[in-house]
Amino acid sequence: MELMRRNKERIKTLAILVLSVSAIFLGLATGLFETQIPGGGQTVSNWESAAAPGDIVPAARPTAAMTTLAAGSHQGHQMGAGLLALYELFAGDLGEALGSSGPPAQVTREAWESALSAPGVFFHYDLALPGAVLAHWLGTEAGNATGLMQLLYLSAGEETVYLYFMGPDGVPYRSETAASPEALRGSLDRLEANGARYGFQDAVYTGPEPDTILLLSYDEIPLIYGHNAIGAIYGQMEAFLGHLGLNPALVRYMDEAGGRTIVEDGATLRLNENGMITFLCRDDSPRLTVLSEGLPDLAGAIETARRIISRLGFSAGEAELLLTDWSYGGETFILQFRYYIDGLPIWTEYPAATVVISGRYIRDISFLARSFYRSGRYGAVLPKTQAAAAAAEARLQLSYAPPGADPSLGREPVEFLPQWLLVGGSLHG
């Protein structure tokens, strides 16, 4: 459980940098598990309209996207409808490029920056994923570019679309593809610049992420409320048990100080009043089987975890649960999820969910029951250039966080504010 330990320590040492949350003003807020939650309040994200055909829905999506237009200017987005619109517009091109990618060749940092400054579209993910998984989510099979990808750029050459990509090691690669440069340029021609730029293009930016997207301003960010959702879980307990493969008629309940334990033949479910829920299965008592037909191993594990977590997360409100970390060792996958709204992560003391898959079965689930809604109010933060100057060499991520350092939530809503958070390590610095 090295990943869980590493993330717990990372969270413990996370420093919340409130670099100016201001200009807050009032305004209007604009099958594996077939059991349905009666009266469940989970909303279906508009992101699903951009998903691959069939039942597979991406478990992670770009958290930033930017186009470079013919004149060298950019349109970039890090949240909300603008980010969704760019993804929907270019998801087909990205899928076609991944599916037809030729053998990748390493390129220099200078060649990477030159490509990003010419017409094309850039996507940033919060985690690195194999090209085969990204291609599968986009309805195709990966070509020759199958390495880890976190930053991707489709470059509209005169006769060829090139796929540039970079993993967590910061080494850029390029593949030729069979995607249509005319179609890509046609989509780019429909857009207008909004003043965004890359970190390496800005003389003032001093942060460790040269490929970060810098916006002209960070205002009009919706504020959100969050609260402990354990009460909603108790209210739908029978369906919740069914999602975990437990029979409500056979389980034994044990009420204890601070929570409740539910046991059935080798499986133990523990619900704590702070919203933390854990589920353990003995090796001789598997309950949930991993999807496998037609899926790469990692893609099957991710999709299995995504489906069960989406069912357990019926109380998430307007938030969605997205994959933010994964590891594999032996026959075991460990998959972690966090809450997001409008493309921005929501900071909580622990990951929203962790799923441990061993062999063909889910063995261990931890789930943090939280509910998040837009408050109808808006806030602003300093531009990233100014925030980076104040944070020295630390990497920053725009996130929602509670106003104080104490992340514990009761049953009453707490307003979460947009903040620049310090996160461990630098990305491609």
Q: Which of 216, 240, 256 is the last residue of a domain?
A: 216
The tally of domains found in the chain comes to 2
Give the confidence band of 36 by pLDDT, cuts at 50, 70, 90: very low
| Contact (Cβ atoms closer than 8 angstroms) between residue 338 and residue 322 | yes
Span 297-350, pLDDT tens digits: 888 899 989 999 999 999 999 999 999 999 998 889 999 999 999 999 999 989
294 and 237 share one domain = yes
38 and 70 share one domain = no
| Contact (Cβ atoms closer than 8 angstroms) between residue 269 and residue 246 | yes
103 and 176 share one domain = yes
280 and 158 share one domain = no
Q: Which of 341, 373, 405 is the last residue of a domain?
A: 373
| Contact (Cβ atoms closer than 8 angstroms) between residue 90 and residue 154 | yes
256 and 344 share one domain = yes
Q: Which of 216, 234, 262 is the last residue of a domain?
A: 216
Residue 354 falls inside a structural domain: yes
Name the least confident of 4-18, 59-73, 169-183, 304-318.
4-18
298 and 345 share one domain = yes
Span 256-268, pLDDT tens digits: 878 999 999 889 9
Q: Average pLDDT in the 204-221 region?
A: 93
137 and 82 share one domain = yes
Residue 55 falls inside a structural domain: no
280 and 320 share one domain = yes
Residue 268 falls inside a structural domain: yes
Q: Is the dihedral of CA 269, 270, 273, 276 positive or negative?
A: negative
CA angle 209, 211, 212 (to 5 degrees): 70
Residue 401 falls inside a structural domain: no
Provide CB contacts within 8 A for 99, sequence distance 6+. Answer: 135, 138, 140, 141, 142, 143
Residue environment code for 210-221, b if the CB has 16+ CB neighbours within 10 A, otherwise e: bbbbbbeebeeb
Give the confidence band of 408 by pLDDT, cuts at 50, 70, 90: low
Residue 51 falls inside a structural domain: no
The domain that holds 358 is classified in CATH as 3.30.310.160
CA atoms of 207 and 200, how far apart (whole Å): 10
75 and 104 share one domain = yes
69 and 201 share one domain = yes
Residue 208 falls inside a structural domain: yes
Residue 378 falls inside a structural domain: no
Residue 19 falls inside a structural domain: yes
Q: Average pLDDT in the 2-27 region?
A: 38
Provide CB contacts within 8 A for 34, sequence distance 6+. Answer: none
Boundaries of domain holding 248: 2-45+225-373
